[in-house]
Amino acid sequence: MPSDAVCDGFDFEGWALRAASVRGLSHRHAGTARQDAYAVRYAAETDRLVLIVCDGVGSGVLSHIAADVASTFLADELIDCDLGDDPNLWTGIFADASAAVCVRARQVLGRSDAEIDDVRAVMATTAVAVVVSAVTQPGPWEVCYAAVGDSSLWTARHHASDEAFEGWTPILGGKINDGEFASNRTSALPLWVDSPVRAEHFELDGEMLLLLCTDGVGDAFLGGAGPVAIELGSAWSSPPTPLNFAAHVSFGRRSLLDDRTGIALWSPGG
């Protein structure tokens, strides 16, 4: 079973990274596993930083395994592959991650003939992948991202001084919204063979904060204007210690009982 909480942090070349995953109150109460996972990779050969966040689907009792498999696979695959301009590249990478989840599920179930429906009945996971290129070069830096499911991606301006927090900019969605109500329905790995995954790009400037997180954190942001979003933005005007970052991620909020996972990346100053 995954540990109750895990956190990491490192600083290099002006960058600061903090990551944490904390078991939510619902899983603590039930005595069940934390189903979120994350992975971080850096390779000097490609001068590339890869960030992955996965949220195991709660209906699968073994979804923590799917999240761990998918996060590790995507990080290892993206760290040195040729991203190029192939529009089908990310579809293929996520399809391979789906296959890796299926292989692990068949091993756990002891059923080599288990189909995707059988796998999804016991384990599935969302995934958001972020690649930051040429990180040791002067900015701005290209960020490429793709996702399956309802995790989210945000940017904000950070300052070395104590200037007021300027707010979050949503880059990647969150819950599916069907008109008036937010839905808990989400797509997940393993995907169907014909499910396309499209990557998007944007530029990250100096003194910017990039945050990718599961819905345990993102749902509290309320589009970036909620009190939790504002409080965290202010607390992260400069990088906290890894343990303090984990404490921030595990904020208390009524009705938000899910696991909490986030990776925050502070770019070098301008």
Question: Using an 8 Å Cβ cutoff, are 38 and 71 in contact?
Answer: yes
Q: Picking from 152-161, 184-193, 229-238, which range would have the lowest pLDDT averaged per residue?
A: 184-193
CA-to-CA distance for 112 and 244, rounded, in angstroms?
44
Q: Over 90: is that where the pLDDT of 242 sits?
A: yes
Phi-psi map region of 242: left, alpha, beta (phi>0 left; psi -120 to 50 alpha) = alpha
Residue 82 DSSP code: -
The one-letter code for the residue type at 157 is R
Using 50, 70 and 90 to split pLDDT, how confident is the model at 161?
A: low
* Helix, strand, coil shares, percent, the chain, to 5: 30, 30, 40
Phi, psi of 181 (to 5 degrees): -115, 145
Flag whether pLDDT at 182 surpasses 50: no
Instruction: Identify the band that residue 188 occupies on the pLDDT scale cut at 50, 70 and 90.
Output: very high
Share of the chain above pLDDT 90, in %: 67
Most confident range, picked from 48-52, 217-221, 231-235: 48-52
The stretch 79-97 carries a mean pLDDT of: 91
The pLDDT of 84-108, averaged and rounded, is: 93
Residue 94 CA to residue 116 CA, distance in Å, equals 14
Residue 178 confidence (pLDDT) above 90: no
Q: Give helix 63-78 / helix 89-109 axis angle, nearest 10°.
A: 140
Quick check: 129 pLDDT over 50? Answer: yes
Number of other residues whose CB lies within 10 A of the CB of residue 1: 9
CA 267 and chain centroid, separation? 18
CB atoms within 10 A of CB 83: 16
Q: Which residue has the higher pLDDT, 170 or 2?
A: 170
Q: Is 168 exposed, middle or buried (0-12, 13-18, 19+ CB in 10 A)?
A: buried
d(CA 230, CA 242): 20
Q: Please give the pLDDT value at position 257.
A: 62
264 - beta bridge partners? 18, 211
Instruction: Look at residue 184 and tell me whether its pLDDT is greater than 50.
Output: no
| Lowest model confidence (mean pLDDT) among 27-31, 209-213, 216-220 | 27-31
CB atoms within 10 A of CB 134: 14
Q: Are 61 and 148 in contact (CB under 8 A)?
A: no
Please give the span between the terminal C-alpha atoms of the chain, in angstroms, as a whole number. Answer: 43
d(CA 213, CA 15): 19
Q: Per residue in 27-67, pLDDT tens?
A: 565 667 788 999 999 999 999 999 999 999 988 999 999 99
> How confident is the model at residue 200, as a pLDDT?
94
CA 12-17-22 angle, to 5 degrees, is 150
State the Cα–Cα distance between residues 28 and 24, nearest whole angstrom. Answer: 6
CA distance 165 to 83: 34
pTM score of the predicted model: 0.91
Q: For residues 17-36, give the mean pLDDT.
A: 79
Express each pLDDT in 134-144 by its tens digit.
Answer: 999 998 999 99
